[in-house]
Amino acid sequence: MVRQQRQTTMPSRLEVIVSRLATFVIGLALLLGLDVLHPARVRTYETLTLDLRLNHLAVIGDSYTTGTDEGGLGPRSWPNRAWQLLSARGERVSADVAAEGRAGYGTPGDHGSIFEDLTARGVQPDDALVVFFGSRNDQGVDLGVLAQKVRNTFDLARMLAPAAKFLVIAPPWPTADVPINVLQIRDVLGTVAGTVGATFVDPIAEHWFVGRPDLIGPDGVHPNDAGHQYMADRIAPLIRTQLSA
């Protein structure tokens, strides 16, 4: 009987290299504690997008808002600069600014308007926020009359924009020696603002312009362009907080 010899196929050199490489990789994975049979899931990242909602708001004010020959006219006013700051942070704002030089809650401005008249023109039903700024022009107004005028203004704004929040900013003063009647205006505003649930800001207590003559024009009263940028830097975060709350 002739014994049939078993044919043996020798592995090729390439197969040997591949086999040894696979053994090396598995061994390295075990050494490093990796699970080669259950590879880790690839992590995905969510893309953060800007808030595309459009926030409607109104601003009621005096010459500190309109700007003057000292500074802050047109695009250099604090409202316009504040909108730019808010836009850079992803807040889309559509604003109606109703402001008049020399106006106050009880004092008619250059065109005969008080803040209540400006509120009637500037506040809209879909406003999310109404900003009231000022006014030092109410010096000389009887405090009882002033309190009633302030309340009438806030009540009108609430009727026109039922869902709006109120941000009430008292008048600033550029020096540390604030006249007593300006302090009284500040106190009346703070008291009435509290009764309607408004957020009240006191620039006098926060020393907005104290020690910063570089922010006030030559008349010693009104902010220059740098002063309007300063106010925008102060007020924009306040508005953003109100819109985000």
Q: What is the pLDDT of residues 25-69, one digit of tens each?
A: 555 555 455 444 444 333 333 333 344 689 999 999 999 999 999
Q: Are 169 and 131 in contact (CB under 8 A)?
A: yes
Nearest to 133 by CA among 41, 63, 31: 63
Which has more confidence, 19 or 115? 115
Q: Are 186 and 169 in contact (CB under 8 A)?
A: no
Average pLDDT (8-12) is: 47
Tell me the C-alpha distance between 84 and 233, whole Å.
10
**Given pLDDT bands bounded at 50, 70 and 90, which one contains residue 7?**
very low
Nearest to 224 by CA among 98, 73, 100: 73
Average pLDDT (167-194) is: 98
- Determine which one of 62, 113, 135, 222 is catalytic: 222
- Determine which one of 63, 77, 113, 135 is catalytic: 63
The pTM score is 0.79
Residue 197 has pLDDT above 90, yes or no: yes
Average pLDDT (91-120) is: 97
Question: Residue 77 catalytic?
Answer: no
> Residue 245: its pLDDT value, please?
80
Residue 164 has pLDDT above 50, yes or no: yes
Tell me the C-alpha distance between 69 and 12, whole Å.
92
Tell me the average pLDDT of the chain. Answer: 86
Q: Report the share of the chain in percent with pLDDT over 90.
A: 78
Question: Residue 222 catalytic?
Answer: yes
Q: Provide the b/e sequence for 102-133 (b: ≥16 CB within 10 Å).
A: ebbbbbebeeebbbbbbbeebbeeebbbbbbb
Residue 178 has pLDDT above 60, yes or no: yes
- Determine which one of 51, 69, 214, 219 is catalytic: 219
Question: Residue 19 catalytic?
Answer: no
Nearest to 228 by CA among 241, 215, 212, 211: 215
Tell me the C-alpha distance between 205 and 224, whole Å.
21
